[in-house]
Amino acid sequence: MEIAKMREEYLQNSPVYPCFPRRLQPFRVELYFLLEEPSSSAAAKLLSIVIFACIVLSIALFMLETMPELGAVQEEFWVASECFFTVVFLVEYLARLLVFDVTGVPIWTFIRTPMNIVDVVAVLPFFMIAVLQSGQAIGFIRAVRLVRLFRIFKLGRYSTGLKMMMVALGNSGQALSVLVFFLGIGCVLFSSVVYHVEKLSCPDRARFNQTELATYLQECHITRKSDFGLCCNEFDAPVDFPSILSTFWWSIVTMTTVGYGDTVPRTNAGKVAGAFTMCSGILLLALPIALIGARFQEAYNMAVSSRRSGFRDVSGPGMTDPMTNILNCLENFSYS
């Protein structure tokens, strides 16, 4: 019943152009629902499943193409598959472009919608590679091929969960800025502490004789450990932390409790500083991350409430959207 009301509203209010006479308006409205409202008919549901499958298959083939085990597969197969998916996505985008204004959406709003930008990016690599097939542009071609990976974001058009995540992130701007601010302060503070604490244990090379110095340099080169003391470079800086800036990596890994272990403090004082960094990182990141989680919960609760209430985004000409919060946020990611 609601779909029927929306059809009638769009038929009455959608603009008419000389190239699209009034008699073609029902066709354009039906095409709009076919593309944008999977629940409007069985055909629309089937089309959304087909597009979804094409997105998944194109991403899967993008990954399979890199497997050495499939080197025997003819190059023509990969080119043909890429051509097929490009045509599918191009036709989909052109069809959406044909009916975007059914709901009264301006052309600029349609173009700058993130999901429509993703649609354009999804088809660009094929044509750019076809134009740039030359040895001089091989590096750029590889970079363009990587752009095909952005097709994964096309799944967002069919994923309510991803849309809710985007809404949550959009409403968490202040929390994200606090998170970045805390990370920045932590990086500078803890990197400086660990660098200087470790540097205090660097041995005085002037006291080594030639044999001891050669042994020290060899042990540090092979194992980064030496019986003569902490391994340091010629500038009396720890080889694991040659500068405060290079210590940023260790600070981020430690504050986020990832702990790759590629660089670690080697002195007792450095380990104490590292333990303090871990504990402080948990406290610094807990609050902003909790705020982001709360925003996602709000978006989820509002989406569930709107589904139970039967509200839909019907922000066509002359109509008011009852979902004044979440649906307005979702309009930034899906104009329908």
* Verdict on whether the full-model pTM lies above 0.75: no
By CB atoms closer than 10 A (0-12, 13-18, 19+), residue 33 is buried
Query: Does the pLDDT value for residue 11 go beyond 90?
Result: no
User: What local confidence, expressed as pLDDT, does residue 326 receive?
Assistant: 45
Region 266-285: what's the mean pLDDT?
Answer: 91
Each domain of the chain, given as residue ranges in start order, spans 2-158, 159-198+243-336, 203-236
Q: What is the pLDDT of residue 139?
A: 64
Distance from CA of residue 118 to its chain's centroid? Answer: 12
Rounded to the nearest integer, the mean pLDDT of the chain is: 80
pLDDT in tens, 67-81: 887 766 777 888 889
Q: What local confidence, expressed as pLDDT, does residue 135 receive?
A: 53
Angle at 267 between CA 266 and CA 268, to 5 degrees: 125
Separation between Cα atoms, residue 108 and residue 233, nearest integer Å: 57
pLDDT tens digits, 234-265 = 888 899 999 999 999 999 999 988 888 888 99
Alpha-carbon span 45 to 37, nearest angstrom: 8
pLDDT bracket for residue 330 (50, 70, 90): very low
Q: Angle at which helices 2-13 and 25-36 pack, to 10 degrees?
A: 130
Whether 165 and 296 have beta carbons less than 8 Å apart is answered as yes
pLDDT bin (cut points 50, 70, 90) of residue 325 is very low
Q: Is the pLDDT of residue 130 over 50?
A: yes
Of residues 223 and 280, which shows the higher confidence score?
280
Q: Tell me the average pLDDT across 20-36.
A: 78
CATH 3.90.79.10 fits 159-198+243-336, yes or no: no
Mean pLDDT of 112-139: 77
Range with lowest mean pLDDT among 14-28, 35-49, 266-280: 14-28
Helices 42-64 + 75-99 axis angle, to 10: 140
Supply φ then ψ for residue 115, to 5 degrees: -65, -35
Region 2-158: CATH code:
1.20.120.350
> Do the first three CATH levels of 2-158 and 159-198+243-336 match, i.e. the same topology?
no
Backbone angles phi, psi at 176, to 5 degrees: -65, -40
